[in-house]
Amino acid sequence: MLKGFRDFMMRGNVIDMAVGVVIGAAFTGVVTGFVSAFLTPVLGVVVGAAGDFSAYKFHAAGVIFPYGQFLNVLIAFVLTAAVLYFCVVLPVSKATARYLPKKPATPKRPCPECLTEIPEAARRCSACTAVVEPLVPVQIAAKR
């Protein structure tokens, strides 16, 4: 039982994911610090407020609502999401589209029973399970 757990933990994907989570947490801390120390004071000056938003709050029925802290967290989230999108997601998507071969589209035809699109080489409809004749010869390479 412990051997199986050890094998699971030593797989490349688990280690990569753990490193990614730790780096992500550290990156979030850096972004949060940047937002509270630099970005929100600059935004406060631009909108006519006095510096950091974290001091903003209002009182209602004896309860304190610190909405400035929420504004700081919201700005940090938007900044983190934008950095991840423009520095990770977009470049990886472009590299994947450039270097991975595109799969050719399989020719489709409608099922005569339910009119669902099925491959021309299909022998049975995946939606209604009706038996259909393939329109193209199916080549089956038997590996023995």
Contact partners, residue 24, CB within 8 Å, separation at least 6: none
Domain map (residue ranges) of the chain: 2-99, 104-144
CA-based nearest residue to 40, from 29, 55, 27:
55
Q: Name the residue type at position 23.
A: I
List Cβ neighbours of 129 (8 Å cut-off, separation of 6 or more).
none
CATH 1.10.3470 fits 104-144, yes or no: no
Instruction: Report the length, in residues, of the chain.
Output: 144
Looking at residue 27, what is its pLDDT?
Answer: 85
Beta strands in 2-69 (DSSP E): 58-60, 63-65
Is residue 73 over pLDDT 70?
yes
pLDDT tens, position by position, 116-140:
999 988 899 999 999 998 887 655 4
End-to-end CA distance of the chain: 35
pLDDT of residue 143: 41
Give the number of other CB atoms < 10 A from CB of residue 16: 10
For position 28, what pLDDT does the model report? 83
Q: Which residues pair with 131 in a beta bridge?
A: 124
CATH among 3.40.50.300, 3.30.1180.20, 1.20.1730.10, 1.10.1200.120 for 2-99:
1.10.1200.120
Global confidence as pTM: 0.53
| 3-class SS of residue 118 | strand
